Structure formats: C-alpha cells, structure tokens
Structure 1
Amino acid sequence: MPQPDRRRFLTSAVLGGSAVAGATALGSLAPEAAFAAPPKIKLDPGALDPNFAEGRITGISGSLLRASGSDRTLHRVHVTDGTSIWKLHPTTFDQIKVGDGFYARGVRLPDGSLAADAIWVNIVNLDASIAAIEAARLHLDHNGKRVIGHVVGGRTAAVYGSAPAVADLTRLQVGRHVKVIGAWRPDTNEVDVATVYSGA
C-alpha cells in the first residue's frame, strides 16, 4: 500500500472512520518483522524513524497507549480496529497491560502521536547459548546472564538451518548457539518462546 494511502487509512481509523484491515494487509505481523529494517524513508543522519515507537506502557486510556521509550521519549500510540497485535501470537487489544514492553510501527499523525498498524508486545530477540534443556524449559545464557525460556505447547517452534519451522525441539543441543524470538515476562528473566533458530 503506498505511503499516502496508508496514512489516510490509519488517520481515518484514529479519527473514527471504518477500519477493515490491519497490519497483515499493510505488512507482516510475524515477530521477525518487528526487527526487520524499516521501510525506506529519507532520514537525517542520527534521526529516529518517525513511524516507529518502543518502550514500556505506562498508561492505557481507551484505545490510546501512553509509553516511555528506552531513551525516555514519551509516546502516544493509537490502537484502532485496523491495528494488528502480537503477544507471542496474534491477539487482541485487551491483552495489552500497563508495564508491558512494545514495538510499534505505523504512521505519525500531525499531533505527534503514532497511529499503529502493528504492535508487538513484550517481544524479545535474544542471541544466546543453551545451558540446559528440560521438558518445558530452555536455560539460556544471554550476555552473561541466565534467561529461562518457557516452551509453550502449540506455540513454540524450532527452525533448524534453513528448514521450515517445526514443533520438534529434540534436535536442540546444550552448548549450541541459538537465536530466540519470544515474549518477555515483564520484570523477570523469563520469556515464552515463539521460535528457536538453530544452525543445525
């Protein structure tokens, strides 16, 4: 969807117009998309992407999220009927809580707020090594710290090399370097694992 159409669509949704499509129409909601390079826009050196926001949610007023960014920027993010939401899996607005972390992509409105087309809640992307494996948990070493990765039935998958994702985690090995995408459990060292990427 061209940028002007996308802006009109999301602006209309924030102002009360009908919204019939979410981020799945405007772009992928897959968790990997949260970490993908932003659409090509011309930015001054060192400038932040105006169509992106991240941080922790400090308040929810109706469909407006108030948040503090990791750089202490204060964000106002509108969630509309057209916003797609991921929290370990595609979900609904009522699953977003104060204290959650988030990444959001959308379009900046004239008042400086962001109309979100996609929000990824508590998403993490960890480079780690596997320290131990239990039936429902992976013990991960990430930057010298221990992280507990919870295996979620029906959700957690593994990707071995370039093969498609599978539910079988038995090929994971202690000591192996992995990339883990999952949903952080706020204020803990624990994540619910969406996908484990292993080179083998």
Structure 2
Amino acid sequence: MSHSSQESGGRRLDRRRFLTSAAIGGATIVGASALGGLDAESAFAAPMPSLHPAYPAAFAEGRIRAVNRGVLDVVGSHGEHHLVQLTNATSIWKLRATTAEAIEAGDGLYARGVKMPDGTIAADAVWVNIVNVLCTVRGIAKDRVHLAHSHHELVGRIVPATTTASYLGGALTSDLSRMRIGQTAQVLGAWRPADNHIDVARLTLGH
C-alpha cells in the first residue's frame, strides 16, 4: 500500500471533514458513522480540532503489529509507534462499514480520534487497508481490472454488490461496461495483504 500515493490522491478530494469529540469528564467517543464521516474520503481529510480541550485530536497511520483486547499496536511508516484503542462507538471501514473482528495483524490502518493522557489514541474512526491511487486501465476481465500505477502493475478485484464506478464525474453506478482500456482511473478500495491485490470500492474513470 503506497501511503504517498494515497495522500496525493486524498489531497485532490474536497469533502467535508468529520468531527472528533469526547464527552466532558470521560472518554466516550462519538463514532464517525454517527456523524456521517465514515465515507472513505474522510480518511484523507485533515483532522478537525477536538471539541474538548482536554482531549486533543489525533491521527495515526501504519501497519498493525498486534491486536490485543481492542487495542491496536501500530507501527507507522516512519517507525513511530501508536496504540489505538477501539471503543463500542468506533466506526470501522474495511471496504465497507464493518466490525472490530475484521481487523487483523498485518493490516494497514488510518485512524482518527482523540489522544488520551497516557498517549493512547481513542479512535472514533478507523479505516483498514484503505488505498486511493491514480491508475491507468490496462486490462479488463469479468472479476478484475488490471491497472498500472507509476511503474507498478496492480490487480483490482471487482466485488459484487460493492464495486461502483463514476464516469466523467457522473453518478455512481454498478455498471462497469463503459470502462475502457487506456482510461485513467482513481481507484478507491481495500488492499489485500494476502495477494497484494485491491478489492475495489469505487472507480472514478476519466477520458
């Protein structure tokens, strides 16, 4: 998963940011999905200031080294270390909205929440294995699309009832028949550590 590619793709997106909040006198986190902010673009939006001064907003990214009783041990892409605490209100995305049971050691992670006094991040939203890369369509099959990103070949897996496309800025559709070899495609999806493929959530197709 290329974090630099994800970040450059994310900067092109201009969607509303979601809020991070902590209840006064405690660490009750308001889940991002309750605020309408679990959509994948929110993973790349700049964090908003916390609504409570005692709990500053925090952000983490990296690979999950271990999962222990709802705490994610994360090593960042520059060697930094994070402990991300999941709560009953944490909103979790892994291709679609899901639960903590879907998170595994070895997964990639983007997380937003509030920093607690002990340094742990209490997460209101976690995006697992999310990728957002600009590619060129090189081949099309029934259940996958072959892509080129910079000098790398990628395989995007079409997920029934999940994968959608937008053509030239149009509305999202499950009809992929208008996709053509040579088109540019912004690919939003979930990286698969087992085979290095991408489960595609959305293709935004250009010319």
Q: TM-score, normalised by structure 2?
A: 0.83
- The alignment status of 1:118 with 2:133, answered yes or no, reads no
Counterpart residue type for residue 37 of structure 2: S
- The alignment status of 1:65 with 2:65, answered yes or no, reads no
Shift of 1:27: 4.8
Q: How does 1:13-162 map to 2 (within 5 A)?
A: 13=28, 22-39=31-48, 51-162=58-169
User: Residue in 2 aligned with 1:180?
Assistant: 187
Counterpart residue type for residue 150 of structure 1: R
User: Residue in 2 aligned with 1:16?
Assistant: none
The Cα RMSD (Å) is 2.2
Q: TM-score, normalised by structure 1?
A: 0.85
What is the count of residue pairs matched by the alignment?
Answer: 185
- Given that 1:10 and 1:82 are in contact with CA atoms closer than 8 Å, whether structure 2 keeps it comes out as no
- Structure 1 CA distance, aligned partners of 2:143 and 2:204? 17
- Structure 2 CA distance, aligned partners of 1:95 and 1:187? 14
Misfit runs of 4+, over 4 Å: none
- Structure 1 CA distance, aligned partners of 2:81 and 2:128? 17
Shift of 1:162: 2.4
Q: Which consecutive unaligned segments of at least 5 residues does structure 2 have?
A: 1-17, 51-55
Q: What is the CA deviation profile of residues 137-185 of structure 1, one whole-angstrom value per residue up to 9, with x for unaligned ones?
A: 0000011110000000000000112222110111111011110000001
Q: Which consecutive unaligned segments of at least 5 residues does structure 1 have?
A: 14-18, 42-48
User: Residue in 2 aligned with 1:44?
Assistant: none
- Structure 1 CA distance, aligned partners of 2:160 and 2:178? 17
- Structure 1 CA distance, aligned partners of 2:156 and 2:101? 24
User: Residue in 1 aligned with 2:23?
Assistant: 8
Greater CA deviation, 26-35 or 55-64? 26-35
Distance 1:189 1:61, change over 3 A: closer
Counterpart residue type for residue 123 of structure 2: A
Shift of 1:193: 0.2
